[in-house]
Amino acid sequence: MKKLLSILIIIMFLGCGSQKNPSEEKITSGASNDVSIQVLKEDVMSSLEYLASDALEGRNTGSEGIEKAAVFIENFFNKNNVPPYFKTYRDSFNLKDIVGYNIVGYIEGHDPKLKNEFVILGAHYDHIGAAEAVNGDSIANGANDDASGTVAVLEWAKYFSKSKTNKRSILFTLYDAEEMGLKGSGHLAKRLKKEAFNLYTMINFEMIGVPRAKEETMAYISGYEKSNMGKKLNEYSDSEIIGFFPKAKEFQLFMRSDNYPFYKAFKIPAHAISTFDFTNFDYYHHVDDEADKMDFEHMTSFINKMIPALEGMINVGAKEIKMNDE
């Protein structure tokens, strides 16, 4: 009996010794299913609640409020080890007596050849400032339009900085003066074109704060028929995230968002992706476009589900995403 007890004790000891302490587990940085660097709802909520707060006064171009937003984005990039692409984070431009600022972060690719090609992920961080007052409130906070897209881009910048999975180089671009006619993205597209910038693809994220109906795809892509981007993103993610929105052409959405200047300048696949389809949110350019109207579960899910799609686009060896014959 004593001998049997001794054997059992030895087996238990060896079994316990073979188990790894969770703190000693090796983190496989670079895998999109690595839970240690997945996007968290509380981070999404915290950033959006600040960007859409009354303190930023609707983020109108040239205002004190948008300056606060610009500083927030710069600090976010700096904190998360996303350096500027230019000498500073700011890509400045003039609109008569107003100075606008695009904010541009950069993560160099890790492949010796592919790092010379770029992918741009962008959104606009400005809004209209004020709108018709409702119950004494005239601040158009722009939570969905487009603090939601801005937060998504910031979270992807943080993700790729941590995961170090990107073979191609990435620009994370937050545009000013979209509401004035795509002025910020237009300025940056022209500047990069003059510099012989090697742009592979560009995606603009516009109003991703509310979910579509359950029978619809999670999001849709503008200009669906112009390239195979939507199909390839679904292929890379191994799921149907991106779909076709029949009214996108009717509403000319392809030409109304910050993807369009890059398409015009570079003639490459450049699209906008959105989850707002004109049926699921009543507060476009309205004072009630506020943080409490956002679905943070949906936002976080979308941001995380897009990660393998973006990784596929950024890391595929050949340029698989191409313009269709028009």
Which helix (H) or strand (E) segment is 243 a member of? strand 242-243
pTM, to two decimals: 0.89
Task: Please tell me whether residue 212 adopts helix, strand or coil conformation.
Answer: coil
pLDDT in tens, 47-101: 999 999 999 999 999 999 999 999 999 999 999 999 999 999 999 999 999 999 9
Q: What is the mean pLDDT of the chain?
A: 91
Q: 3 pLDDT exceeds 50? A: no
Q: How high is the pLDDT of residue 17?
A: 37
pLDDT in tens, 276-307: 999 999 999 999 999 999 999 999 999 999 99
Q: How would you class 164 by CB atoms within 10 Å of its CB: exposed for 0-12, middle for 13-18, buried for 19 or more?
A: exposed
Percent helix, strand and coil across the chain, each to the nearest 5: 40, 20, 40
Q: How high is the pLDDT of residue 289?
A: 98
For residue 35, what pLDDT band results from cuts at 50, 70 and 90? low
Q: How high is the pLDDT of residue 325?
A: 77
215: CB partners within 8 A, 6+ apart: none
Tell me whether strands 90-95 and 98-107 are parallel, antiparallel or unpaired. antiparallel
pLDDT in tens, 116-166: 999 999 999 999 999 999 999 999 999 999 999 999 999 999 999 999 999
Q: 38 pLDDT exceeds 50? A: yes
CB-based contact 205:215 (threshold 8 Å): no
Q: How high is the pLDDT of residue 25?
A: 29
36: CB partners within 8 A, 6+ apart: 27, 29
Q: Which residues of 129-145 are buried (b: 16+ CB within 10 A; e: fewer)?
A: bebeeeeeeebbbbbbb
pLDDT in tens, 199-236: 999 999 999 999 999 999 999 999 999 999 999 999 99
Q: How high is the pLDDT of residue 37?
A: 80
Q: 33 pLDDT exceeds 80? A: no
For residue 27, give the nearest of 19, 36, 40 by alpha carbon. Answer: 36
Of 14-28, 41-55, 177-191, 245-259, the least confident: 14-28
Q: How high is the pLDDT of residue 326?
A: 53
For residue 54, give the nearest of 44, 63, 41 by alpha carbon. Answer: 63
Q: 32 pLDDT exceeds 60? A: no
- Please count the other Cβ atoms lying within 10 Å of the Cβ belonging to residue 277: 20
Q: Which domains does the chain have, with CATH numbers?
A: 34-315 (3.40.630.10)
For residue 34, what pLDDT band results from cuts at 50, 70 and 90? low
pLDDT, average across residues 191-195: 97
Q: Percent of the chain at pLDDT above 70?
A: 89
Q: How high is the pLDDT of residue 236?
A: 98
For residue 272, give the nearest of 300, 230, 320 by alpha carbon. Answer: 230
